[in-house]
Amino acid sequence: RSCDFFRLFKGGRSGIHRHVASSLLHALILDPDAAHRAEMKKGLAEHPLFKVIEEASTWEEARAMIRKNLPDVIFGDPLLGRKPGMDWVDKVPKSTVVVLVASHPDLAFQAFEKRVLDYLLKPVAPSRLKLTIARLIEGKAQHAGAVQEAQPEKKILIQNRRESAFI
């Protein structure tokens, strides 16, 4: 089944988008409410680029899961535990993208002061989730391009008595 956001990648630059579109993004859903976790899992299941590898209701559970299977992205509620705040976001490995999924817009400004890609409001509208997924894919493509450009080009030196050349 094809999704609209694939249109972003038709004829993509230098094949990076096609490579990114073919690999799965592993997601962890972090929310104290089982119904909200199920809703997010159902929404991500509609997008073939995602595989939900773990679900957690507390940061302690999520931390153990992150150590076991490092996810590409965490969809998490900013309000975990007894005290309000997003302290858990600072503890997420730098290689994992964080998308906050909240019941209220109150923490949106604070969220973007941290390294959060997006801030979604519950219940998450399918069109809004699609936009977030497009941002995730574009970010992964840019990262893949940067890694690809950073790798040195391998060449072989060919020499004879009069000249040398790298091929």
What dihedral angle (degrees, nearest 10) is formed by the CA atoms of 148, 89, 115, 10? 50
Helix (H) or strand (E) holding 41: helix 34-45
Return the axis-axis angle of helices 126-150 and 34-45, rounded to nearest 10°.
Answer: 70
Q: 25-67 pLDDT, tens per residue?
A: 999 999 999 999 999 999 999 988 889 999 999 999 999 999 9
pTM: 0.72
Please provide residue 89's backbone torsions phi and psi, each rounded to the nearest 5 degrees: -60, -40
For residues 31 and 99, is the Cβ–Cβ distance under 8 A?
A: no
* Residue 26: per-residue pLDDT: 94
Instruction: Tell me if 118 sits within 8 A of 100, measured CB to CB.
Output: yes
pLDDT digit string, tens, across residues 83-110: 566 889 999 999 999 999 999 898 898 8
